Structure 1
C-alpha cells in the first residue's frame, strides 16, 4: 500500500497545486471548487493507503519472492438470500424519480433507500457472537 499511498499523494499534490493556480489565475469559483474536491478525494485515498500500510506492513503482492498462496486468506461470508439489495435499488429508483417529479417522492425514496442500506449493513451484525 506504500506505492499506492505515494501515487495518490502525488495526485493530491497535483490537484492542490492546480486548484491554487487555477483559482488565482481564473477567479472561477466553480472550477476551483471542483479541483479542491478532487484534491480532497485523492488525499483521503492516499491517507487510507498510508494508514493501512502502517497497520499491516508490506503485502505479499509487493514482495518479489512471494508465492500466490501467501496472499490467500479466509473467505468472507456472503449471504445466500437477502431482500436488502432489492429494497436499496427500489429506494434509489424512487429517489431518482423524485428528483424529476417532486420533493415528496424524493424524501420517500431516500427513506426507503436508507432502510435498505441499514438492512444491508446490519443484516448479520450479530453473526460473530
Structure 2
C-alpha cells in the first residue's frame, strides 16, 4: 500500500499544481477550477487511505522484495452458485433510467425494484457459515 500511497500523492500533487496554474491563468473560471480541485481532493483521499492502511496493517507480501508467491495463496472469496438478484437489479436500473425520460411514476417503480435487487444482493447469503 505504500507504493499506491506515493502514486496517488503524485497524482494529487499534479492536480494541485495544474489547478493552481489553471486558476491563475483563467481568471478564476469556476468550472475548470472546481473540477481540478475535486480531482485533487479525491486523489488526496485515496493516498491518505492507502497510507493509513499501510501504517495499520504493515507491508503486504507484494511490498516486500523477498516475498514468495505462496504467502498470498489461500481462498479468494465466496462466490454464490446462482442468484436471481443481479437480473432484478439490472431491471431496476433500466426502469429507473427510463423513468427519467417517461415520468416520475416509472422512476419510482424502477427505484423500488432497484432497491429490492440491491437489498437482495446484500443480504442473500448473510446467514451462511
TM-score (norm 1): 0.85
What is the match of residue 86 of structure 2? 85
Equivalent residue runs for 1:4-23 within 5 Å: 4-23=4-23
Give the match for residue 102 of structure 2. 101
What stretches of structure 1 move > 3 A for 4+ residues in a row?
Answer: none
Cα distance, 1:29 vs structure 2? 1.2
For 1:2-81, what aligned pairs fall within 5 Å after superposition?
A: 2-26=2-26, 27-81=28-82
Please state how far the C-alpha of 1:3 moved relative to its aligned partner. 0.6
The alpha carbon displacement at 1:13 in A equals 2.0
Q: Give structure 1 stretches of 5+ with no counterpart.
A: none
Whole-angstrom distance in 2 between the partners of 1:109 and 1:83: 17
What TM-score does the superposition give when structure 2 sets the normalisation length? 0.85
Q: 1:28 to 1:103 in 2, by over 3 A?
A: farther
Q: Which runs of 5+ in 2 are unaligned?
A: none
Q: Deviations over 1:6-40 (max 9, x none)?
A: 11011112212322332343222111221122122
Change (3 A) 1:86 1:34: same
Q: Is the partner of 1:125 in helix, strand or coil?
A: coil
Aligned residues: 128
